[in-house]
Structure 1
Amino acid sequence: MQEIPHIPVLYREVLEAFAPCSDGWVVDCTMGYGGHSSLLLENNPAISLIGIDQDPTAIAFSSKRLEPFGKRVEIRQGRFSEVASETIAQFGDKICGILADIGVSSLQLDQRERGFSYESDTLDMRMNPNAVLSAYEVVNEYSQSALESILREYGEVTNSRKVAETIVQRRPFASAKELSNAIFHLMPKGKKIHPSTLVMQAIRIEVNDELGELTRLLDAIEASKIKKLRVAIITFHSLEDRIVKNRFSKWSKNCICPDDAMRCTCGNNHAIGKTITKKPLCAADDELRANSRSRSAKLRIFEIRRD
């Protein structure tokens, strides 16, 4: 029997989000270890599912885990923005739901050889182990100004200039642990997260182009002609959540005239649906107790309804 390495966050909220999907295909853009996928298939016996992931380890694990669902499951490997776009073009209105869990899985974090943790003995952080760019190149080869920009924009590190300067002065680094120890004294203390977390987050986002992937996925959904669709996005930090919030807001606006326009001239019919969650859904107390990594998770849901 497989040992399940990953607890899917906000699993009850995800099931509720896709409860209206009585038939058709749900696309799990970030399948990981099949947690959300298996629950969706178990609880919605009339739907089928396309699972996407770029991690070969996740593909191998989920292929076995989801095998009991037979032809109801199709697994595709690649960057989710690209594969989801191809899938949307292929299946069109047969797709009733799209789910994306924009985060690092527990197994990726726990496998120190993957280099995601500040305790790792490597400096990697690639979700796709075959990708060219790794954390090693970012940390040891990027200019000080580029590092400062990444730390400020992706990690919201308040003293990004000093941290970037320290990294450049003390590199090369061979491991995430070594990097974390070098900058530990510069990071704010007293928070619930490890002081180096935001720096590691910033580097990981750069390595995997996470914000670009999310944006391109939303672009593909917006450009699609699907008439009825549930979109559920789980994010883990404010940068991702802001992108989703702003895009959902755009999708729900009928009028797209400039704010200073004297009167509407756009036709006032540009909304493609409505936001289901005015505020993001967060983990309940019992889930927080069972899975501490759910504390940062936020789920936003949008329902597309095109004429």
Structure 2
Amino acid sequence: MNIPHIPVLLNEVKETFKDINDGYIVDCTVGYGGHSEALLEQNPNIKLICCDQDAEAIAFSKKRLEKFGERVIFEHAKFSTVIEKYLDYPIHGILADIGVSSLQLDKKSRGFGFESDTLDMRMNPENPISAKNVVNEYSQEQLEEILREYGEMRDFKRVAKTIVDNRPFESSRELATVLKKLGGKPKIHPATLPFQAIRIEVNNELGELDELLESIYNSKLKNSLVAIISFHSLEDRIVKKTFKLWTQNCICPAGVMKCECGNNHSLGKVITKKPIIPTKEEEKINPRSRSSKMRVFKLK
């Protein structure tokens, strides 16, 4: 198969899960199947549950992984919903590579790139809201909010006004061309952060991550590794904060003089005190890996 994709932090992912000898690993974001294939080859006695909300990704990975036969289960679903469907399975690992896949970025028809002829950005093309809706229909105040919160932009008011003053937009190319005129930091396209903010809004990316983490918390899984790869600070902050909360024994409200919760609520321990980042060699081979960070938690 022609596989135009290099999975990020592949060696680090393999190292993380190398000691799992049985049961299932859930690949919450299978994409092109790179991580999944490597894990199935490295760990010959495991099985995988491969999930993606993008039907095109599922179709591609089914072909790529068909050689593993019944060792693979596919789920066309949001990753926030997959854990609860398999609570009766012996899940010993969970991997989530959060963000836009190369499959989505590289196809102009999906509308993620600056040169795209469409304005879409939906990870699941069946979702009702696209980037075209957000850009052309949101009020200036709504645009300011998502640019501030999801793009972490200082000039969110100016950018939102520019979008409103120049709409309607029919393609990502048109939007990127207008935003480029605003200027910005050297070596960073001025549309990068606005596109990130719009994409997060369209796909509810932070909400999905929160729901995935909540589903893991509620699953009561035992002796399982959780590895989450993120690509920007908003996601990494959520993962870091959540993993820290999972280590706490006492969950009593702040200000309680004496512990009343039993002081035994820790789910396990953080394996990565600092996030795992790509090597310089990987960054040279795969520039898209540059912003990736992986954090790992061990459920006891």
With normalisation by structure 2, the TM-score equals 0.97
Aligned residues: 300
Match of 2:263 in 1: 268
Query: Does the aligned pair in 2 maintain the 1:228–1:304 contact within 8 Å?
Result: yes
Match of 1:125 in 2: 121
CA-CA distance at 1:20 after TM superposition: 2.5
Match of 1:20 in 2: 19
Match of 2:275 in 1: 280
CA RMSD, Structure 1 to Structure 2 (Å): 1.3
C-alpha distance in 2 between matches for 1:137 and 1:83: 28
C-alpha distance in 2 between matches for 1:234 and 1:263: 37
Match of 1:228 in 2: 223
After superposition, the C-alpha distances for 1:192-248 in whole angstroms (9 at most, x for unaligned) are 432211100100011111111111000000001212110000000000001100100
Match of 2:285 in 1: 290
Query: Does the aligned pair in 2 maintain the 1:85–1:217 contact within 8 Å?
Result: no
CA-CA distance at 1:254 after TM superposition: 1.4
CA-CA distance at 1:84 after TM superposition: 2.9
Corresponding position: 1:148 with 2:147? no
C-alpha distance in 1 between matches for 2:239 and 2:104: 24
C-alpha distance in 1 between matches for 2:275 and 2:298: 14
C-alpha distance in 2 between matches for 1:255 and 1:83: 29
Match of 2:169 in 1: 173
Match of 2:237 in 1: 242
Of 100, 104, 128, 1:104 maps to 100
Query: Does the aligned pair in 1 maintain the 2:31–2:103 contact within 8 Å?
Result: no
Match of 1:254 in 2: 249
After superposition, the C-alpha distances for 1:258-281 in whole angstroms (9 at most, x for unaligned) are 454444443321101000001100
With normalisation by structure 1, the TM-score equals 0.95
Moved over 6 A (4+): none
C-alpha distance in 2 between matches for 1:254 and 1:82: 27
Query: Does the aligned pair in 1 maintain the 2:179–2:190 contact within 8 Å?
Result: no
Match of 1:11 in 2: 10
Partner SS state of residue 256, structure 1: coil
C-alpha distance in 2 between matches for 1:57 and 1:193: 30
Query: Does the aligned pair in 1 maintain the 2:37–2:65 contact within 8 Å?
Result: yes
Query: Does the aligned pair in 2 maintain the 1:133–1:207 contact within 8 Å?
Result: yes
Which sections of structure 2, spanning at least 5 residues, go unmatched? none
What amino acid does structure 1 have at the position aligned with 2:75? R
CA-CA distance at 1:164 after TM superposition: 0.7
CA-CA distance at 1:141 after TM superposition: 0.4
Partner SS state of residue 100, structure 1: strand
C-alpha distance in 2 between matches for 1:133 and 1:278: 38
- Identical pairs, percent: 60
